Amino acid sequence: MSSIVAIVGRPNVGKSTLFNRLIQRREAIVDAVSGVTRDRHYGRTDWNGKEFSVIDTGGYVKGSDDVFEAEIDKQVELAIDEADAIIFMVEVESGVTGMDEEVANLLRKVDKPVFLVINKVDNNDRLAQAVEFYSLGLGEYYPISSINGSGTGDLLDDVVKALPEKEDVRVDDLPRFAVVGRPNAGKSSFINALIGEERYIVTDIAGTTRDAIDTRYNRFGFEFNLVDTAGIRRKSKVKEDLEFYSVMRSVRAIEHCDVCLLVLDATRGFDGQDQNIFWLAERNRKGIVILVNKWDLVEKETNSAKEFEKEIREKIAPFTDVPIIFISALTKQRVYKAIETAVEVYQNKSKNIKTSVLNEVLLPIIENNPPPALKGKYVKIKYITQLPTPQPQFAFFCNLPQYVKEPYKRFLENKLREQFDFHGVPISIYMRKK
């Protein structure tokens, strides 16, 4: 499990620019795979061989200036609770502001590494001006320019030194299922329905879930580990609708599992927060099953389930090959089906297809539908193999890999799905030079 570094600070100090700089190498690779670009507030990166997740809190603050202060306080408190290290960003042009002081007050009480980063220091005059930030009482600071990257190397050297060593503790080879979703979607009720005991306290207050990570179960003849999105105590001060909170909470569980069971509240629809969690799982290349909970509370029309499903698929395109199951955790309706499907998705994710079979099945299809010629040059795909990775990745060897564009890769992905059933699992496709 990788550590989490949160970037906090008031608006417009350059948090997102630093975030983009930190994750660009890794994220660019991830993006080339599926051709989706979404708002990025979460990414993974590595420095000196150490991998960690970065969260840009700025992307989650919405509202007018007076709303900002309260929101930023909340985010800083959450970052203090959740992150392993905190980058507190200020900028030299405005000097120390009241909001900076407020954030510093919260951070001074923290028993976690805090890095005070002063942005926009791109000349000697500004280096001299930076001295006033000693008044925040956070000790040494890092003068950087997040636009051109100067100073970020020293910062990252110290950040990775301060991160705790985290082992990915796999006790057994059982599938790991994470139950994720926004607060109050019914995650705990689903788990109770699943394991048939009131192990998790269920109340109407969002975020009453207490520590429980990786619990082993044997239900309906399946054995699996459940990674609950708990392990995090809920601060009563924090408002339950905070998008950042659900995402922060889901990050650890998702990185720690094989298949995500994303629980939605049918009465609220598939909103931005659910989509954020979905793309988080997709970017981490995890198996996904979408569970539409509280379906018993929805007013039904003739096609309402079909309509609802269609709407979800439109929002998750292009990765639409995902099981969507309508459940009620309260009446236990289709809870067994949910687990059965999660097991199938896990098996799909672990599927290994022989090279001979891949070539036998796909090469004739490719011959009938070759990649479109570009600048009069024809791409010839000669050979396909599955890469030895924990999730399905395929290398297609050809003469001109750079000419194969996204739509054709999607065509190849669809053919792989049709022929070999990767329902619920993101697939990565790489074009390689023969």
- All residues at 6 or more sequence positions from 276 whose CB lies less than 8 Å from its CB, including other chains: 41, 243, 246, 247
Percent of the chain's residues with pLDDT above 70: 82
Tell me the mean pLDDT in the region 140-166: 90
If 0-12 CB within 10 Å is exposed, 13-18 middle and 19+ buried, where does residue 129 land?
middle
pLDDT at 31: 38
The answer, yes or no, to whether residue 416 has pLDDT greater than 80, is yes
Cis amide prior to 318 (ω within 30 degrees): yes
pLDDT at residue 34 is higher than 70: no
Q: pLDDT tens digits for 319-328?
A: 999 999 999 9
What is the 3-state secondary structure of 199-260?
A: CCCCCCCCCCCCCCCCEEEEECCEEEEEEECCCCCCCCCCCCCCHHHHHHHHHHHHHCCCEE
The mean pLDDT of 395-406, rounded to a whole number, is 92
pLDDT of 257-302, one tens digit each? 899 999 999 998 998 878 888 988 998 899 999 999 998 888 877 6
Mean pLDDT to the nearest integer, 1-29: 77
Q: pLDDT-derived band of residue 33, with 50, 70 and 90 as boundaries?
A: very low
pLDDT value at position 410?
93
Most confident by average pLDDT, 118-122, 209-213, 372-376: 118-122
Confidence of residue 28 (pLDDT cuts 50, 70, 90): very low
Confidence tier at 244 by pLDDT (50, 70, 90):
low
Q: When comparing pLDDT for 265 and 228, which is higher?
A: 265
Domain ranges of the chain: 4-162, 176-349, 355-433
- SS3 state at 176: strand
Distances (CA, A) of 201 to 187, 197, 198, 212: 11, 10, 7, 11
pLDDT at 327: 94
* pLDDT over 60 at 418, yes or no: yes
CATH 3.90.1170.20, applies to 176-349: no
Compute the CA torsion angle 22, 259, 296, 208 (nearest 10 deg): -60
State yes or no: pLDDT of 211 exceeds 50.
Answer: no
Per the annotation, where are the binding residues for GTP? 9-16, 56-60, 119-122, 181-188, 228-232, 293-296
pTM: 0.72
Query: Taking the CB of residue 323, how many other CB atoms lie within 10 A of it?
Result: 17
Binding residues, by number, are 9-16, 56-60, 119-122, 181-188, 228-232, 293-296
Average pLDDT, whole number, for the chain?
A: 82
pLDDT at 390 over 80: yes
**Range 226-253 average pLDDT:** 59
- What integer pLDDT is reported at residue 74 of this predicted model? 75
Highest mean pLDDT among 65-79, 189-203, 370-384: 370-384
Let me know if the fold of 176-349 is the same as that of 355-433: no
Which one is predicted more confidently, 32 or 268?
268
Q: What are the tens digits of pLDDT across the range 328-368? A: 988 888 999 999 999 999 999 999 999 999 999 999 999 99
Calpha distance 155→3 (Å, rounded): 16
Q: How far is CA 232 from the centre of its chain?
A: 17
pLDDT of 149 > 60? The answer is yes
d(CA 11, CA 69) in angstroms, rounded, equals 10
**Contact status, residue 391 vs residue 421, Cβ threshold 8 Å:** no
CA distance 430 to 32: 9
What lies within 8 Å, CB to CB, of 266 at 6+ separation is 292, 293, 294, 295, 297, 298, 308, 326
Q: What is the CATH number of domain 355-433?
A: 3.30.300.20
Render pLDDT for 130-144 as a digit per residue (tens, 0 to 9): 999 999 999 999 999
Please give the pLDDT value at position 78: 76
Q: Which CATH number fits domain 4-162: 1.10.287.610, 3.40.190.10, 3.40.50.300, 1.10.275.10?
A: 3.40.50.300
pLDDT score at 68:
64
Give pLDDT, residue 160: 93
- DSSP string spanning 305-352? HHHHHHHHHHHHTT-----EEE-BTTTTBTHHHHHHHHHHHHHHHT--
Q: Per-residue pLDDT tens for 190-204?
A: 888 887 765 544 443
